[in-house]
Amino acid sequence: MSASLIKRLPEGRAGQVLAVGMTLAALGLVWSGCVAPLTGLFAAREAARADQAGMLAHMQMIAADLPSLRRIAREAKADRTTGSASALIPGATDAIAAANLQNALQDLAAGSGVLPSSVEVLPALQRGAFRRIGLQIEATTTWPILISLMKAINDSALGLVVDDLSLHALSDGSKGNGIDASHPALDASFMVFAFRAGTEAGDHALTRSVAVMTNPAN
């Protein structure tokens, strides 16, 4: 600052005010140019450290829960395997599986109050890696009792499937088979299917093996 400019600066109270203003302006420049950026940088670093600490705590919590999560996954897989196996009708051959299906259906029908008038074994069919075992059922019943049987079949652990349901209303005088007189009688006809693991070739091989065992001379 030149001497002439200094001489022109105000003195006294005005000079003090000007000096204070210039000092504050200089401090503002220093703050905006140096201190504020450094403060922002430190705040950003602290926020990053807080995020890292939170992430670390979250990962540690997951690591602590990992053994229990693996155990739950193993148990769920075992339950699915057991459930899939139990949804198949037992039986090494189609004939055995059909007999088991008949027994299971008779139990369900008896529990629902249905007495089948006819049970016919349907030809087994290959469906992928499974054999479809079927029964043709005919019964005289009422709508509430039939619904009870359908629900029991649907809730069965054997994975039973009902198909081709046909209903025929009987006249008021055509009652029988323990039909409740308060409900119209129905002739019901439907198919029930179950599945067993195996193939037709395996079924024939087992049948031939049994035949050889029962006829040692051959």
Burial of 149 (0-12, 13-18, 19+ CB in 10 A): buried
- pLDDT attached to residue 202: 54
| Interval 136-163: pLDDT, tens | 999 999 999 999 999 999 988 888 999 9
Q: Taking the CB of residue 145, how many other CB atoms lie within 10 A of it?
A: 21
User: What are the helix (H) ranges across the chain?
Assistant: 3-8, 12-30, 36-86, 94-112, 143-155, 200-214
In contact, 140 and 186? CB cutoff 8 Å? yes
Look up residue 203 and give its amino acid: D
3-state SS assignment for residue 198: coil
pLDDT per position as a tens digit, 34-91: 756 667 667 777 777 888 887 777 777 777 776 766 666 666 555 544 445 567 888 8
The pTM of the full predicted model, rounded to 2 decimals, is 0.53
- Which of residues 92 and 69 earns the better pLDDT score? 92
